Amino acid sequence: MVEKIITVNIRREVLKKPYWNRSAEALSVLRKYLKKHVKAKRIVIDSKMNEKIWQRGIKRPLMRMRVKVTTSDDGTAKVTLLEKQ
C-alpha cells in the first residue's frame, strides 16, 4: 500500500461546464486526474469527500482540495479528504 498527499486543482476544467452541472463534473474530473497521476485502474471516493464537494450545491463545487490517496496492489485507489491539522 502506498499513500500520497496530492493537491488537486480542478477549477479550469469545471468552469468550462454549465453552472447547473458543475459538481457532477467535478467528480468526474477528479477521477480522471487521479487515474492519470496515481496510475490506478479504479478510483474509490470517500463519502465524506463526496459530501464536501456537494456541500455548496450543484453550481459551486469545491475547486481545490488536498486529498490522501491510498493505492493498493490490485490497482484500486481510495481517496479521502485530508483533514486540516
Q: Where are the domains of the chain?
A: 2-81
Q: Write phi, then psi, for 22 (nearest 5 degrees).
A: -75, -40
Model pTM greater than 0.75? yes
Q: Which fold has domain 2-81?
A: Ribosomal Protein L31e; Chain: W; (3.10.440)
Specify the pLDDT at position 59: 94
Distance CA 51, CA 84 (A): 17
Specify the pLDDT at position 17: 93
Give me the chain's average pLDDT, please. 92
As a whole-number percent, the residues of the chain with pLDDT over 90 amount to 89
In terms of Cα–Cα distance, which of 37, 11, 14, 41 is closest to 25?
14
- Three cell numbers written together for 28: 468526474
Specify the pLDDT at position 51: 94
pLDDT tier, 1 (very low <50, low <70, confident <90, very high otherwise):
confident
Angle at 62 between CA 59 and CA 66, to 5 degrees: 170
